[in-house]
Every structure is written in structure tokens, then in C-alpha cells.
Structure 1
């Protein structure tokens, strides 16, 4: 390697050491080992080291085509030490601020989604149900009132017929009585059905 390539490689490894410190702090911040099972921490640690190893190799490949020297590990250590001494506290504050900003943004978008989409749909559905219920109750009340008026008019209209009916023979009156019971049962069934439906709508 030329002197320029060696110098670039050295700076790259120092930068990767600083990046490793930030990457490790970010990983530990989101991992939360106290609440994670050990088996999960074990596998995530393996993934972490594999990913960072690939990043280092890619950086070396871009700078010096993957040639490894002993001083490169020292450069990584120097970069990590520089991060711990100079940038750790600043990066921790910045990371917490970014996390807080992302969480607040998510909550804001969640509220916007609820108030702009979910809540109007709920109100529309509720309004449709209320209007439908009022229409149903009104129709059932009208049907109940019409049926009561029909029965009242029927009694008034057929009251003279009942007076004349007493003079008919007993055989005809018995047949008419049977027919009258059937018709009365039918009208009572219709009336009870309308009343039950009206009571359900009221509830």
C-alpha cells in the first residue's frame, strides 16, 4: 500500500472506531438487557457483531481492497477511546432527543389519524344508526296507531250489524262465532307483533 492509502485506511479505522461506539450505545439503548431473555440477547449480540464486522470489512475493501494490518486494530481502539472521551455524552443526549422526537411525532400522527379518519367514521355510523332507529320507531308508531284506529272504526261500523246479528239463527251464529274467533286471534297476533317490535326499538 502507498503512504496515502495507509493514511486513508488509518483515518477510516479511527472513524469506524467512533462509529462503533455510537453503534454500540444505540444497540444497548434499544436492547434493554434487564427486560430481555438471555437467549434473545445472545442471538442479537451475534447479529450485532456480524453486522459490524461486515461494515469494517466493507470499509477496508473500499479503502485498501481489504488488506489487514495490525495498526488498523489500534486505530479502531483509538477511535473507540476518542468516542468514549469526547462524544459519548453528546451522542447519548442527541439519541434521547431523537427518540423523543420520533415518539412525539408518532403520537401526533396517531392522534391526527384518529381525529381525521376514525372519529368521523364513528360519528357517521352513529348518526346513521340514530336516524334509522328514529325512522323505524316512527313507522312502528304509525302502524300501531293505524291499527288501533282501524279496530275502532271497525267496531263503530259493525256495531249495527251486531245488533241485527242477534236475530239470525243459532246455527249461523255459531259458524260466525268460530270465524270471529279466528279473525280476532289473527288481529291480536298482528297487534302483539307490532307492539313487541315497537318496544324493541324504544330500547
Structure 2
């Protein structure tokens, strides 16, 4: 192996050491900021070191066909040392700023979705509910008016048909009492009224 190839391999190892330091700092800050469960950390550490070893070996293979020499470890150690003395604080600040920027972007997107989709849908729902309640109130009022208008005709028909209906009702009365038809109709009417009230008052 030539001297130039050795220097080239050492430079690659130095860059690999810088990259390992940057990735480790980023991973450490992310795990703190995102509050990973502690039982995840051993697995994440193992994953980091396995990935780092594979990448370093791939770089080493590209530099000198994978031959392990003393200068390989010197290059890695020098790269890690240079990183922690010169670039660690800067990388940590960039990573923290990136996390804050991403969080701000997510909050902005959620706020925009809230203003453009959620709140208009809620407003539309409330408007439909008010219109429905108003229409239901008008319908009930009109029904009451119609019933009041037809009341004289009903009283007249009842008076005229009374002599015919009373004997029939007298014969059917016991059978209707057994069937409890009147109470069942009242119960059904009460249930319908309760459901109607819940539908109108539902927020």
C-alpha cells in the first residue's frame, strides 16, 4: 500500500469520526427532546453502534480494501476528538433549532387545519342545528294552528257521530282495555317526544 493511499484512508477515517460524533450528538439530543422511553435507549445505542461499524467498514473498504491498520484507529480517534472540541456545540445548537422549527411548523399546520377545516365544519353544524330547531319549532306551531282550526269541525263531527260511536265504543271498550292500546300509544308518544327533545338539545 502506497503512502498516499494510507493518508487518504486516514483522512476518510477522520471524516468518519467527525460523522460518528455528529450523528451521536443528534441521536442523544433527539432522545432527550422527544423523551424516548428509557427501555428503548439500550436498543437504540446498539443500533447506532452497529450502523456506525458498518458504515466505517464500508468507508474503509473503499479506502484500502478493508485492511485494518493502526492509522485507521488513529484517524477515527482524531476525527471524534476534533468534532467534540470544535463542532459539538454548533451541531447541538443546529439540531435543537431544527427540532424547534419542526415543532413550530407542525403547530402552524395544525392551526391552519383547525381554522380552515375544523372550525368551519363546527360552525356549519351549529348553523344546521339552529335551522333545524327553528324549522321544527315552526312546524310544531303550524300544527298547533291547524289543530285549532280543525277543532270546531272535530267537535261538530263528534257531536254528529256520537250516537253511532258510543255503542260501538261500549262494545269494544273491554277488548281495548285488555290490549292496553291507549297506554301503549301514550308510551310510544312519550318516547318519540323524549327522543325529539334529545335531538334538539344535543350539542
Matches within 5 A, 1:1-203: 1-32=1-32, 36-37=37-38, 39-155=39-155, 157=156, 161=160, 174-175=166-167, 178=170, 193=189, 196=193, 200=197, 203=201
**1:177 Cα shift?**
6.8
Distance 2:62 2:40 in 1: 33
**1:75 Cα shift?**
0.8
- Unaligned segments of structure 2, at least 5 residues: none
Compared CA separation, residues 20 and 202, structure 1 to 2 (3 A) = closer
Distance 1:173 1:92 in 2: 95
Deviations 1:138-176 (A, max 9, x none): 222222321232123433x459859xx8xx8xxx68527
TM-score (norm 2): 0.75
- Secondary structure, counterpart of 2:67 in structure 1: coil
Distance 1:60 1:138 in 2: 84
**1:83 Cα shift?**
0.9
**1:199 Cα shift?**
7.3
Compared CA separation, residues 148 and 85, structure 1 to 2 (3 A) = same
Tell me if structure 2 keeps the 8 A contact 1:9–1:64: yes
TM-score (norm 1): 0.75
- Aligned pairs, how many? 188
